[in-house]
Amino acid sequence: MTDTQAKPRPRSSLPVWLPVLLGILVILALFAWFVLPRLRPYQFNGTVIQSEMPSTNFTLTSADGPVSLSDYRGRLVLLYFGYTFCPDVCPTTLADVNKALDQLGNKAEDVQLIMVSVDPARDTPEKLAEYVEFFNPTFVGVTGADEDVRRVATLYNVWYEAHDEEGASGYLVDHTATLNVIDEEGHLKLLIGYGTGADAIAADLDYMLR
Amino acid sequence: MKRFKTRWAVAALALAATIGTVACSEDAGIEISDAWGRPSPSVATAGAFFMTITNNGAEDDALVAATSPACGTVELHESFMNEEGAMAMQPVPGGEITLPAGGSVVLEPGGLHVMCIDKLQDFTEGADLELTLRFQNADDTTFDVEIREP
């Protein structure tokens, strides 16, 4: 092999395979950018519950009369436990859910938020209705006798405890602040923790309503 | 492309914030910024105020009390996740929020807040509610808290 006789290639002519290689690279990049993310399974922001056991039905009292979980079969139910004296955690969550429903557009009609009061002594059904409807007119608030509320909370692994405070609050109620998402067939499918944020809640609900 | 633009916007904001902070750091004392409260219905008898408190002084200070014509009582509270994994709330331990010299303390949802108990004015979107903060060392400061979505 000797190249002493080879004339230097003119600078302007690039090897023919170069545009082909570039073309392939561009196609690969586009594939990686647009197609690969769609092939990955959806990653929930909440915690997925894979029990096939149907959620236990319950009936509590709203301002418009008795409300049962089974009334909302066929829709996604967001079951939340809170109280109207709660100034921080509950309003944050309810406002986040409202924002998430906004993002879902028409699909929001297939979602029902129910807030169960963990403070039945102070929260009347009327007070609860006014409270939850402030955040979204479709939200429903329910309460009941102490033991009935406690039973429902226990069914959904919700812990709550009132504690007296020296200040003006009288007492405060610490409570599990998780949104329980019950699917259209009545199975608990997802737990969304406090602070998940509206966008992440909307993404999970949107996927469940696909 | 959108992400790229957002990144530049964030970088520009961070730069602006840095310049702003440097420009203000010569003023001694307490500085309140971004004071807000979430709109809430009148049946909710309690509300919360959030803000960033910066202590530009050379000495540590502490937020010890607050008053407002919009509230029957104002207390300093904190939300936190307790050992049961539940969200809990309590008056701040020791009754005060420490403000380290040259540092900022952020009062935000799920954490520290100024709690307005027995609301006397409506927390309607756009309202400005007067709040006075009392400190261990610095003079009282009175300012408006804007009621709005974060």
Q: Which residues of B touch A89 (CB under 8 A)?
A: 79, 87, 89, 109-110
Q: Please report, in angstroms and rounded to a whole number, the separation of the first and last CA atoms in chain B.
A: 27
Cβ atoms < 10 Å from Cβ of A7:
6
B78 pLDDT higher than 60: yes
Residue-range domain boundaries for chain A: 47-208
Backbone torsions φ then ψ of A180, nearest 5 degrees:
-90, 120
Q: Which residues of B touch A167 (CB under 8 A)?
A: 73, 75, 91, 117
A157 interface with B at CB cutoff 8 Å: no
B83 pLDDT higher than 90: no
B133 interface with A at CB cutoff 8 Å: no
Q: Among residues of chain B, what percentage have pLDDT more than 90?
A: 71
Inspect the interface and report whether the beta carbons of B41 and A134 lie closer than 8 Å. yes
Helix (H, G, I), strand (E, B) or coil at B42: coil
Residues 6+ apart with CB under 8 A from B46: A85, A86, A87, A169, B115, B116, B117, B118, B119
> What is the structure's pLDDT at B11?
55
The interface pTM score, or ipTM, of the predicted complex is: 0.73
In this complex, the residue of A167, A177, A195 whose CB is nearest that of residue B86 is: A177
What's the CATH architecture for B28-147? Sandwich (2.60)
Residue-range domain boundaries for chain B: 28-147
Cβ atoms < 10 Å from Cβ of B26:
7
Is residue A141 within 8 A of residue A129, CB to CB? The reply is yes
CATH of domain A47-208: 3.40.30.10
B87 interface with A at CB cutoff 8 Å: yes
Is residue B115 within 8 A of residue B77, CB to CB? The reply is yes
In this complex, the residue of B42, B110, B117 whose CB is nearest that of residue A194 is: B110
B50 → chain A, closest CA residue: A88
User: Which of A88, A90, A128, A159 to substitute to test the interface with B, most B CBs within 10 Å?
Assistant: A88
In this complex, the residue of A131, A159, A177 whose CB is nearest that of residue B44 is: A131
Query: Among A40-44, A93-97, A196-200, B76-80, which is the least confidently predicted range?
Result: A40-44
B3 burial (CB, 10 Å; 0-12 / 13-18 / 19+) is: exposed
Inspect the interface and report whether the beta carbons of A169 and B46 lie closer than 8 Å. yes
Local confidence band at B2 (pLDDT 50, 70, 90 cut-offs): very low
B115 interface with A at CB cutoff 8 Å: yes
